[in-house]
Amino acid sequence: MHVLVMNSGSSSIKYELFDMDHATTLASGLVERIGEERGRARHHLGDDEVTEDEPIPDHDDGFRRVVAALDRAGLGEELGAIGHRVVHGGERFAEPTVLDDDAVEGIRAQIPLAPLHNPANVTGIEVARKLRPDLPQVAVFDTAFHRTMPPHAHRYAVPVEWYERHGVRRYGFHGTSHAFVAKQAAHHLGRPLEEVDLITLHLGNGASATAIAAGRSVDTSMGLSPLEGLVMGTRSGDLDPAVVFHVQREAGLEPAEVERMLNKQSGLKGLCGDNDLREIEHRAEAGDADAILALATYTHRVRKYVGAYLAALGGADALVFTAGVGENSPEVRERVLSGLEPLGISIDAERNAVRAPEGVVAIHDQHSTLSVLVVPTDEEREIAEQTVAAVTEQPSTG
């Protein structure tokens, strides 16, 4: 079966077409700057690369370009299903869900919980259902893997009606990635997923840590929204909530402005002006004080979560690094784990030099009681696999 995976953002559509029978990628691409003066669509079709530099007024036009590109390459015919990445599934969606009108309404109902993400996901779903009503379509939720968190991990210590009426609780995100690397790690360890305890560190532009007991998420660093937890490219991560009221009062900022600044102007960018870790590493090497501080703050936060989750789990079989930074930065991995020998964690400098591995690479040394693994993530592939599983279980759609 061929499965198209779509990740729709507010001004972009990222896609990848998989041949699930041969575990290969047939095509991929990015439609960006939708609704802006100058749009761009880039399609990788086998060895061909096609770029369209034209205005793309809306997602409808953007998706038509994807369909047209696949058709031109003769890849549209065999399409068996479309899998959509959806950021927030709230309390309703614990599983990948075959989309009918009711499910789409259910996703729309989560918009108050994810006003920055779900609207674009819904738009992508609507456009794809309109243009390819013949195909089963599945929503795969970033929150779903974390639905196994026990209440003591997902509840905040706030008035109970905030939870009951307004859904205020920890949901967690990046679930597709944490689930994918957990499976890969268990496979590498030669053990069933249901028997392994892991701490997975997804360190990309967004970043989150997850504690996994017996293969299931039991705690994660992102919360009601993807803003909580680790220091990220442009998001603050953990913060005293009083900071929000303080800057509203003292700097005269409106709530929406504070929200925007915590999401877009904070994290590494807030600390040193850059959000690309490569650039920050270069600056730090050259002695730039802001970059040195940003790197130290970033890695200190990850270390704290490793310690917290080791305690929460009562020990673990392996620590997993993944995503752009986790897979590519020996320096970050070294800083996060140096000096943790008393906790049973010790890495091998030579093995840790690995960047962009094709598969799982172990970087611990013989003294380490925990395995430390670098595992390339592939969220699109995981969405494709979950899409196939969902349509095979329930072939009829609304």
CB of 327 to ligand ADP, least distance (A): 8
Helix, strand, coil percentages in the chain from 3-state DSSP, rounded to 5: 40, 20, 40
Nearer to ligand ADP, 110 or 328 (CB): 328
226 binds ligand ADP (CB under 6 A): no
Token pair 């899409």: residue: 387
* Neighbouring residues of 22: CB distance < 8 A, sequence distance ≥ 6: none
325 binds ligand ADP (CB under 6 A): yes
Contact present, 141 and 175 (Cβ < 8 Å)? yes
204 binds ligand ADP (CB under 6 A): yes
302 binds ligand ADP (CB under 6 A): no
374 binds ligand ADP (CB under 6 A): no
Instruction: Please state, as a whole number, how many other Cβ atoms lie within 10 Å of the Cβ of residue 275.
Output: 21
CB of 332 to ligand ADP, least distance (A): 7
Examine the residue annotation and report whether 58 is marked as an active-site residue of this protein. no
**CA-CA distance, 108 to 121, in Å (whole number)?**
9
* Alpha-helical runs (H) found in the chain: 59-72, 101-108, 118-131, 151-154, 160-166, 175-189, 242-251, 255-264, 267-272, 277-285, 289-313, 323-328, 330-337, 379-393
CB of 296 to ligand ADP, least distance (A): 16
Dihedral of alpha carbons 178, 324, 125, 388, sign: negative
Quick note: the x/- pattern for ligand ADP over 66-105, rule CB under 6 A, is ----------------------------------------
**Judged by CB under 6 A, which of 38, 278, 282, 367 binds ligand ADP?**
278
Nearer to ligand ADP, 275 or 397 (CB): 275
Structure tokens given for 332: 């970050």
Per-residue buried b or exposed e for 217-226, using 16+ beta carbons within 10 Å of the residue's own CB: bbbbbbbbbb
Mark the segment that binds ligand ADP (CB under 6 A) among 75-83, 97-105, 214-222, 271-279: 271-279
221 binds ligand ADP (CB under 6 A): no
**Judged by CB under 6 A, which of 143, 210, 328, 371 binds ligand ADP?**
328
**Beta bridge pairs of residue 139:** 84, 97
Q: Which residues in this chain contact ligand ADP in the complex, by CB under 6 A?
A: 204-206, 233, 276-278, 281, 323-325, 328-329, 355
Q: Which residues are catalytic, by number?
A: 142
